[in-house]
Chains A and B, each alone.
Chain A
Amino acid sequence: MNGATDPRGDAHPASAVQAISAAALISLRADMLKFAQFQVRNAETAEDLVQESIEAALKQSSTFAGRSTLKTWVFAILRNRIIDHVRQANRTVSASSLHEDDENWLERQDAVFSENGRWRDSARPQAWPSPEESMQSQQFWRIFETCLDHLPPNTGRVFMMREFLGFDTAEICSQLGITSTNLHVILHRARMKLRGCMEAGWGRPGETAC
Chain B
Amino acid sequence: MLNCVEVTEICSLELEQPLPIGRRLGLGMHLMMCSGCTNYRKQLGLLRQIAQAYADGRAATDVSRLGESSPD
A192: which B residues are within 8 A, CB to CB?
Answer: 8, 12
1/0 contact string of B32-52 vs chain A (CB within 8 Å): 001111011001101111111
A31, B8: Cβ atoms under 8 Å? no
Identify which of A6-14, A59-67, A91-99, A130-138 touches chain B: A130-138
Interface residues of chain B, those whose CB is within 8 Å of chain A, are: 3-6, 8-9, 12-13, 15-17, 34-37, 39-40, 43-44, 46-63, 65-66, 68-71
Known: A124-B36, A191-B47, A195-B40. A144 touches B54 (CB 8 A): yes
Chain A residue, CB-CB nearest to B44: A191
A137: which B residues are within 8 A, CB to CB?
Answer: 60
A125: which B residues are within 8 A, CB to CB?
Answer: 36-37, 39-40, 43
Chain A residue, CB-CB nearest to B13: A184
1/0 contact string of A132-175 vs chain B (CB within 8 Å): 00011110111010000000000000011001111001000000
Interchain CB contact (< 8 A) of A109 among B5, B54, B69: B5
B5, A113: Cβ atoms under 8 Å? yes
B43, A195: Cβ atoms under 8 Å? yes
A195 to B56, CA, bound (A): 20
A81 at the interface (CB under 8 A from B): no
B61: which A residues are within 8 A, CB to CB?
Answer: 27-28, 31, 71, 138
Q: How many residues of chain A are within 8 Å of chain B by beta carbon?
A: 54
Chain A residue, CB-CB nearest to B46: A131
Chain A 17-39 interface residues, beta-carbon cutoff 8 Å to B: 26-31, 33-35
B65, A124: Cβ atoms under 8 Å? no
A128, B60: Cβ atoms under 8 Å? no
A138 to B53, CA, bound (A): 13
Known: A71-B57, A138-B62, A141-B62. A117 touches B12 (CB 8 A): no
Interchain CB contact (< 8 A) of B58 among A72, A128, A159: A72
Known: A127-B39, A138-B60, A195-B47. A35 touches B3 (CB 8 A): no
B47, A29: Cβ atoms under 8 Å? no
Interchain nearest-CB distance for A79 vs B (Å): 6
B63: which A residues are within 8 A, CB to CB?
Answer: 138
Interchain nearest-CB distance for A26 vs B (Å): 6
A108 at the interface (CB under 8 A from B): no
A199: which B residues are within 8 A, CB to CB?
Answer: 43
B39, A126: Cβ atoms under 8 Å? yes
Interchain nearest-CB distance for B34 vs A (Å): 8
A74 at the interface (CB under 8 A from B): yes
A200 at the interface (CB under 8 A from B): no
A18 to B34, CA, bound (A): 56
